[in-house]
Amino acid sequence: MYSIAPSILSANFVRLEEEIAAVESGGATILHVDVMDGRFVPNITIGLPVVKSIRKATSMTIDTHLMIVEPGDYAVQFVDAGADMVSVHIEADQHIHRTLQSIRDAGAKAGVVINPGTPLNSVSEAIYHADYVLIMSVNPGFGGQKFIPRSLDRLRELRQMITDRGLDVRIEIDGGIDMSNINVVADAGADIMVAGSAVFGMGDPAEAVRALSNKGAVWV
Ligand code: DX5
Ligand code: ZN
């Protein structure tokens, strides 16, 4: 079993409330919000005021993915803005333990994110202090990129690491997830599948969530 977390990065921002309502009606329970600062990644998206507004518009779990430098300065502000899950990149934070702890202390789930080029053992210690690990299966910054196949081995390896240590840590995967690979990604051990263009790039976001939720229902 896995959850679909539609990423609003690929939504129509002018009609954001309708887009959110659509994925909720399709059965999504988690909404993925990509926060980019133009420094950690070469793109700028949205920040705290938008998260505050989304909080008023939905009861879905709000999952904020912080692609920003020095995320420890902002993580708790995102919890205060209404985020239920806040993830920070291992590559961006010199004090990951402190940041993860501060997110938990503020009452949200704390996640650590790892880029495709970063060795998996970089999160070896952080997973003791995290509620979930987000494996990037594309380089962060943009929607609509192609899934990096090596991510499957990384998923399996991380799943094994978590099992071997008896930890209660979820695995989220982000980037290039669509109908063609969701089955194999689920088998490799992902619990939460982020999907941007595969949800909002289609004509009917609600139907796209339904299709992606039914493992193996449709193959293209
Ligand atoms: C990329 C973002 C993703 C993005 C995924 O940096 O973190 O969440 O929205 O988009 P797709 O599903 O189109 O790869
Ligand atoms: Zn993301």
Which of 138, 177, 180 is the best mutation target for the ligand 1 pocket, counting ligand atoms within 8 Å of the beta carbon and taking the most? 138
With both helix axes pointing from N to C terminus, report the angle between 48-57 and 16-25 in degrees, rounded to the nearest 10: 50
Residue 174 falls in the annotated catalytic set: yes
Of 34, 63, 93, 178, the active-site residue reads 34
- pLDDT at 159 (0 to 100): 98
Establish if 218 belongs to a structural domain. no
pTM above 0.85, yes or no: yes
Q: Domain total for the chain?
A: 1
- Ligand 1: which of 134, 142, 148, 193 to mutate, judged by most atoms within 8 Å of the beta carbon? 142
Instruction: Check residue 220 and give its pLDDT.
Output: 33
In a domain, 21, yes or no: yes
SS3 track for 181-200: CHHHHHHCCCCEEEECHHHH
What CATH number is associated with residue 56?
3.20.20.70
Note down the domain range covering 182: 3-212
At 7 the pLDDT is: 98
Within a domain: 132: yes
Residue 217: predicted pLDDT: 43
| 106 token code pair | 């503020």
Residue 46 counted as domain residue: yes
* Model pLDDT for residues 20-63, shown as the tens digit of each residue: 999 999 999 999 999 999 999 999 999 999 999 999 999 999 99
Segment holding 105, helix H or strand E: helix 96-105
Domain-located, residue 217: no
User: Does some domain include residue 107?
Assistant: yes
* Percent of the chain topping pLDDT 90: 95
